[in-house]
Structure 1
Amino acid sequence: MKLLERASGTAYSLRSAAVLRIGTGLLSLAYLLRDIGDAGVLWGPEAYWTPEMALELNALNGWTGFYTVAVTESPVLWWVFYGLAVAVSVLFTLGWRTRVTSIAFAVLVCAVQFRTAFVNDSGDHLVRLLAIYLACTACGRVWSLDGRREWSPPLLKGENEELRRRVVTLTHNLALLVIAGQVMIAYGAAAMYKIQGSTWRDGTALHYALHLNAFTPWPELSHWVAGQSALILGLAYLTVFTQLGLPFAVFSRVLKYPFLIALLGSHAAIAVLMGLPLFSAAMVIGDMVFLGDAFWIGAAVLVKRGSGGRAPGTPRRDHRGEAAVLSRRSPG
């Protein structure tokens, strides 16, 4: 009961949730704007994956119905959906009416991307997962337009309002745990998969990866790095070690930071050497769930000192009385 009382009494990691919201919204917007010139042939009526095929695949896999919202043969209606996805991505990033826009964001982003599921990559997949999970969080309480609005009276009264507040708070905390678990599973599974291959065990996997024509935007740089045998060997083992160790390191307030820094470096290298900036950005955004509010409070203080103003994102009471906002710091 004490655990339930704590989990439903205080909304933890509100700033981390806000960072996830901003990052996911911006990344979705980047995907949509990057592909806007080819969107019609990728996901629209002109796509090789016809509406009938999309509906059949959705039914065969037992996917949720909102994945097929954007399945239409009308070019006009399709571009309406696409435009709405862009607009909602902007509103979600800004944190405007987040309770509503977070749901619309999840529905529209998933609907557009699942229109032709086979042209997406792992970065798209993580964005979809984060969009769904963030709809269950209180990601708009800080660093948002919602956080700047005047407070309105509670929706309910008395015990009903307290029950509603606790349910919302518990849902928020559980959703963040699910996001953290999803990221840990992704890294743990990737590491376990790697160690099954001989190229990762003998440290040559990165050498071969850097010679793939499809993933060498800077061939001279990639070939030079691939020629550094000791560096390639060390990076291969470091990659496996950090991915395998992160699910355990995150339970330490101190140990998790070296692991996160190492993973940040690996994602930066993937973005540059393999030409996958959006995929790398998606993974970095997912990693932010492990940075508690204590980290973001410290970062805000540094920003305040640098700008000479009030620290950004100072939390306010929830205008609907949904939770007490950070009179105490979450683990961080």
Structure 2
Amino acid sequence: MNTVPTADAAAPRRPAGPIGRSAQRITAFALGPYQSAVIRIGFAVTYLLFLLREVPYRQELYGPDSPWAWDLAHRLISENGAFTVLMWSDGSVWFEVVYALVLVAAFCTMIGWRTRTMSVLFMVGVLSIQNRNVFMGDGGDNVVHLMAVYLVLTRCAQVWSLDARRAARNAARRAQGLRPARDVVGPALWAVLGPVLLVAHVQGGLGGTWWLPTLLWVLWLGAAARWAVDRHAPDGETRVLLDVVANIVHNAALVVIMAEVCLIYATAGWYKIQGSRWQDGTALYYPLKLDYFTPWPELSNVIAASSLMVMVVTYATVIVQVAFPFTLFNRRVKNVLLVVMMGEHAGIAVLLGLPFFSMAMISADAVFLPTVFLVWFGGRVGLGRDRLLSRFGRGGGVRVPGPREPVGAGAAGPGGEAPPRPGDGGHTLVG
């Protein structure tokens, strides 16, 4: 007997079981929009301030006047296969152009303008400057180095970015039956960067590794595919497939970032346990007596004079670093230790004079911050911004939908920002 399928049978079913629901969540959404935005802003601000601080000394550190001369750097890079655009020329003009472009890329990444393009340029700039003189780096530089690469793979402009604002405006136009504003800047950037990438690849200027050229070409070609789909089939299955792939890559990159942070703390903690100075509780005392690590000598002397304080801080540092990866299974304990670690890094910035190392580590720690706190914090910042603008006779930001909220729904996201619809601004090189 033939049966006719009912409406319920024809309707899509929700995945059964936790595995099915988790798989749907991973593919349907780019998770951690606020955490990835904080990482983007934190590392961009960290490197931007670092470059600005070193402006008077840039030529001696990474330029033609560096003791690590261009030919020495070229010889080392030819052996280890590292990448830096500063090896394309040894001229002072080329160095100044690259340095200025990295500053611009860091600033644009921070504000979330054409984030996919600028995050790629930010990664290229970080690799270029650090690999020009590898002897100038420290632990903070290594963290920035890694996170700049991971950031390219994330959809980190879903909130708190100019891309999110542009995407929200386009979504509002669609809801009104209007066509989104035509994008000219994105395709122009794509058209300019393509020939540069081609020439660099042909001339062997992308280093001696396979992953960097592959990553850059995949991003450039993926941008072309996204633009074609958005133009000719914005609501088709191909668009959905591209969104699924982008969400999976974003979520995987976010997991890698979290694993990297845990690995940093676990490695540092277990190595400290093996050191005799950490075992007897005197490890903090010696840096406090070095001129290089005492920007505030009086404060350092006060702390170093208290053997109890030195011992407590030394042991607490080891305990927190070793225990943190295990606290991820308990949200409350994790949040407490997260506050302790951020406070510890803030103390390192002030007491030992390592602000950029501390900023990099705090930015990395932010991946574990609770979403509720980030939403609240964003709301406070947005409220303060609106009050400031009102004093100058300007209205607050236009209300746009929040994360996963359809256009025209209830409350706005924090500060008026909202993530774009999957595949909108901040996702591709042209967007």
Q: 2:134 aligns with which of 112, 117, 121?
A: 117
How much has 1:273 moved relative to structure 2?
1.3
Equivalences for residues 11-160 of structure 1 within 5 A: 11-63=30-82, 67-71=83-87, 72-149=89-166, 150-151=169-170, 152=180, 155=230, 156-157=233-234, 158-160=236-238
Contact 2:112-2:161 within 8 A present in 1 as well: yes
Please give the secondary structure, in 1, of the residue aligned with 2:353: coil
Greater displacement, 186-195 / 261-270: 261-270
Query: Partner residue of 1:167?
Result: 245
CA RMSD of aligned residues (A): 2.2
75 and 302 in structure 1: CA distance in 2 versus 1, 3 angstrom threshold:
closer
Query: Partner residue of 2:340?
Result: 262
Matched, 1:312 2:415: yes
Q: For the residues of structure 2 that align with 1:40 and 1:317, how far apart are their CA atoms?
A: 41
Q: 1:253 aligns with which of 312, 318, 331?
A: 331
44 and 302 in structure 1: CA distance in 2 versus 1, 3 angstrom threshold:
closer
314 and 78 in structure 1: CA distance in 2 versus 1, 3 angstrom threshold:
closer
Query: Partner residue of 2:267?
Result: 189
Contact 1:165-1:321 within 8 A present in 2 as well: no
Please give the secondary structure, in 2, of the residue aligned with 1:52: helix
What one-letter code is carried by the residue in structure 1 that aligns with 2:86?
Answer: A
Larger Rg, first or second structure (1 or 2): 2
Greater displacement, 44-53 / 130-139: 44-53
Contact 1:169-1:322 within 8 A present in 2 as well: no
Contact 1:191-1:243 within 8 A present in 2 as well: yes
- Equivalent pairs counted in the alignment come to 320
Contact 1:28-1:89 within 8 A present in 2 as well: yes
In structure 2, the gaps of 5 or more residues are 1-18, 171-179, 181-226, 388-395, 397-411, 427-431
Query: Partner residue of 2:222?
Result: none
- Percent sequence identity over matched residues? 39
43 and 296 in structure 1: CA distance in 2 versus 1, 3 angstrom threshold:
same
How much has 1:304 moved relative to structure 2?
6.1
Query: Partner residue of 2:278?
Result: 200
Task: Give the alignment's TM-score, normalised by structure 1.
Answer: 0.90
What one-letter code is carried by the residue in structure 2 that aligns with 1:286?
Answer: A
Query: Partner residue of 2:187?
Result: none
Contact 1:164-1:322 within 8 A present in 2 as well: no
- Residues 40-74 of structure 1 deviation map (CA, whole Å, 9 limit, x = unaligned): 111111212222322332232233xxx22122211
Q: For the residues of structure 1 that align with 2:340 and 2:246, how far apart are their CA atoms?
A: 35
How much has 1:314 moved relative to structure 2?
3.9
How much has 1:122 moved relative to structure 2?
1.7
What one-letter code is carried by the residue in structure 2 that aligns with 1:178?
Answer: V
Task: Give the alignment's TM-score, normalised by structure 2.
Answer: 0.70
Q: For the residues of structure 2 that align with 1:275 and 1:321, how far apart are their CA atoms?
A: 41
What one-letter code is carried by the residue in structure 2 that aligns with 1:315?
Answer: A
Greater displacement, 124-133 / 134-143: 124-133
- Residues 290-329 of structure 1 deviation map (CA, whole Å, 9 limit, x = unaligned): 1142331233345567777763154244263699xxxxxx
Please give the secondary structure, in 2, of the residue aligned with 1:167: helix
